[in-house]
Amino acid sequence: MTQEAELGLRDRLAQLSGVKLLRGTRLSAELERLQRQLERLREDTSDEEIWRSVELARHEKRPYTLDYVERMLDDWFELHGDRGRMDDRAIVAGLGSLDGRTIAVVGHQKGRDIKERGFRNFGMAYPEGYRKAMRTMELADRHGFPLVTLVDTPGAYPGIAAEQHGQGGAIARSQAAMLRLSVPTVSVVIGEGGSGGAIAIAVADRVLMQENAIYSVISPEGCASILWRDAAQAKKAASAFKPDAAHCLELRVIDGIVPEPEGGAQVDHDAAAALLREAVIAHLDELADIPADELRRARRAKFRSMGVLAHV
């Protein structure tokens, strides 16, 4: 762990420690989470632990977006279609009630069996899926609903049809739409956060990762195929670019880690949803009173600063 990363976490702890607990214990819980994350970053993460995160992020029994929607939201109403060409089932979107507030939700949806995986295209969206996401974002912005996105995709669909329909442009426009939103936004990587397909719906005020999720510009297999011309070297690639939550937090790609039940979210969907619900509510509460102009300014500054190296 770098000294800069530890100082960043300490600064956030100090800021939260000075805030009066006007909303009960949620802020206190946030302090406890940051303390745990600081302790975890102090520990060396082995290559085997990194690969274990890759395997758990892809676990076939891991909760997907609709599993969390069912457990976290009341009065869920799903929206369909991009109002242009089709309804991409790899992206689910809709409105629901979370802790008494109406929110908009956009998320990737994988499938449990062969039939559903084909129906959902393994969570890999076409441009129409991201246009459906943007339609939901605009609806949330118009009515003042906070936006929560749940990221879980190997990447946007790379097929010829998707490219013909404008895949790259759709991803770019989705990112731009999120930057312009005047409502609070929270994104959570709940499984695989792969490449442009993930970042298309993850340009948020707060970006979180579940403890065993991964977030990267390329899959370990894809990286291994490029560097060593051998996808079997995926574990070696993962240990090199470290897509796990602890290292993403250290790099300041994300703002926090959401704990999972012992053994992973796939062990207990209800417990995983309760932990995720608590984290999302805490961050939405923290963002609730920030003026829209300040939200947009801080959001843009946050993403423009990523990857910038200070000159010594």
pTM beyond cutoff 0.85: no
Determine the pLDDT at residue 266.
93
Confidence class for position 77, pLDDT limits 50, 70, 90: very high
Whether 247 has a pLDDT exceeding 90, the answer reads no
Whether 157 has a pLDDT exceeding 70, the answer reads yes
172-192: pLDDT as tens digits: 999 999 999 999 999 999 999
Whether 99 has a pLDDT exceeding 70, the answer reads yes
Residue 242: left if φ>0, alpha if ψ -120 to 50, beta else—which one?
left
114-147: pLDDT as tens digits: 898 888 888 888 899 999 999 999 999 999 999 9
Determine the pLDDT at residue 5.
53
Residue 150 phi, psi dihedral angles, 5° rounding: -120, 115
| Span of 52-56, 66-70, 103-107, 307-311 with lowest mean pLDDT | 307-311
Determine the pLDDT at residue 122.
87
**Average pLDDT value over all residues in the chain:** 85
Determine the pLDDT at residue 188.
96
Confidence class for position 1, pLDDT limits 50, 70, 90: very low
280-290: pLDDT as tens digits: 999 999 999 99
22-61: pLDDT as tens digits: 334 445 555 566 666 656 555 556 778 888 889 999 999 9
Whether 15 has a pLDDT exceeding 60, the answer reads no
Report the candidate in 235, 200, 243, 201 with the shortest Cα–Cα distance to residue 218: 243
pLDDT more than 70, % of the chain: 84
Determine the pLDDT at residue 21.
38
Cα 297 from chain centroid?
21
Determine the pLDDT at residue 280.
95
Confidence class for position 218, pLDDT limits 50, 70, 90: confident
Confidence class for position 10, pLDDT limits 50, 70, 90: low
DSSP string, 7-38: HHHHHHHHHHHTS--TTTTHHHHHHHHHHHHH
Q: Which pair of structure tokens corresponds to residue 190?
A: 């709940």
Q: How far is CA 202 from CA 32, 175, 190, 198, in A?
A: 25, 8, 12, 6
